[in-house]
Structure 1
């Protein structure tokens, strides 16, 4: 299925990386659900930018299955068909500044549980909501947003990284489970992006150090990352599933 024929839910789509992903799909002609939790003004502004015929802003806490189910039902009513594509991008409140994160002796299970709730439980809820429609048409694209910290854990983002590692595992087991239904499940993993709401607190020296360590000698932008997400939704990736594509300017090798 062409990207232009897809109906896409982007969780956490109102701001940061999510908004770049929304714009990328809209640019290619897809219909897009801009999911938000507390970013209503940003989500509605994004819809106004794209146009209400092609985008709709819908509030849902991804940790709440009932709210997610309602969002998918509303999306179907709005666009007249089932969601074909899900991008699990939502991130529980997080600041990418190593000086503010808990080290091993300070890390609490509650920190890990919070990230698992948003990252893993949130993705499970969107998959549950999307499956009936995807199975009915024997087509579906599930794209999870990961991190290169799995390969390069240079900062103490223990809770965030552990949750993304679990999401990668879920990506691969879901790919095996859902492949016979015509549904692919993949992950796109980035490093620090210049610049999102979450990375706004990152010291400039960190951006500089990362740029100098990459073959491209620069930090990847949200728009560049979003284009990689498009690949997994496109017909060119129709035989690709269970994969993790690292998009960080060549900093790490998966």
Structure 2
């Protein structure tokens, strides 16, 4: 079997933002990467199989995991895809509640059910679920999104117990407000300033900050770390 640092990685939401930064970091570490996303990158990426996939659809996930196997033994799974929509809870469209859970939580469930047997067969693996510091510092208008991230936090803890005997670690990375292209376009600069005023490190978080944390958790160096949530929010939460 190939060493874990050269195994195939599946990254959801890998076309843009944090997901794209994770793809780049894993490629630099030697992983072939299958990126599952509704969006497509601006240009082809060497060593990356970009698969158009709606993470709310189980059948599409199954096909995508099958395609990822063409790159080699799957050893790393990173679920970064997320549907995020801000609205007061009492005004939330049930369709947005539903899609939040179908992409963020059900997407993780179907992906892991499809790919974990590959990791078990190999006797090792790394799983990282991208959650959110909003679970620890909850802003208004995001209760539905925070609920999905809480579910993923619990999933990481539970699965770490189930999969540890198979040599598979399961962790979560919880980003704070991150200056991705989408966030900068849609979130007022005043909100970035407010968040930075609460941080111990007074700058905006960058996608590479999150990718660096993921790169550690999927590396051989993190073989004794599992069931944990790593906050990458400049110290805003300080839990």
The equivalent position to 1:72 in structure 2, one of 59, 65, 68, is 65
What per-residue deviation string (whole Å, max 9, x for no partner) do you get for residues 82-113 of structure 1?
A: 21111101112x35xxxxx3223323544322
- Distance, in Å, in 2 between the alignment partners of 1:216 and 1:178 is 35
Matched, 1:82 2:92: no
Partner of 2:49: 56
Partner of 1:249: 234
- Distance, in Å, in 2 between the alignment partners of 1:172 and 1:9 is 20
TM-score, structure 1 normalization: 0.88
Contact 2:5 2:220 in 1 (8 A): no
The equivalent position to 1:156 in structure 2, one of 131, 134, 141, is 141
- Distance, in Å, in 1 between the alignment partners of 2:162 and 2:94 is 30
Structure 2 portions without partners, runs of 5+? none
What's the offset of the Cα at 1:2?
5.8
Secondary structure (helix, strand or coil) at the match of 1:252 reads: coil
Contact 1:192 1:199 in 2 (8 A): no
What's the offset of the Cα at 1:14?
0.7
- Distance, in Å, in 2 between the alignment partners of 1:189 and 1:46 is 28
Matched, 1:209 2:194: yes
Structure 1 portions without partners, runs of 5+? 96-100
Partner of 1:119: 104
Partner of 1:98: none
Secondary structure (helix, strand or coil) at the match of 2:234 reads: coil
What per-residue deviation string (whole Å, max 9, x for no partner) do you get for residues 173-218 of structure 1?
A: 1111111111111100011101242452000011111112211111
What's the offset of the Cα at 1:147?
0.5
Residue correspondence of structure 1 range 1-254 to structure 2 within 5 A: 4-37=5-38, 39-40=39-40, 42=41, 45-47=43-45, 51=46, 54-77=47-70, 79=71, 81-92=72-83, 94-95=84-85, 101-254=86-239
- Distance, in Å, in 2 between the alignment partners of 1:196 and 1:104 is 26
Moved more, 239-248 or 67-76: 67-76
- Distance, in Å, in 2 between the alignment partners of 1:230 and 1:61 is 25
- Distance, in Å, in 2 between the alignment partners of 1:34 and 1:211 is 31
- Distance, in Å, in 1 between the alignment partners of 2:225 and 2:215 is 13
Contact 1:120 1:167 in 2 (8 A): yes
Secondary structure (helix, strand or coil) at the match of 1:84 reads: strand
- Distance, in Å, in 1 between the alignment partners of 2:92 and 2:18 is 27
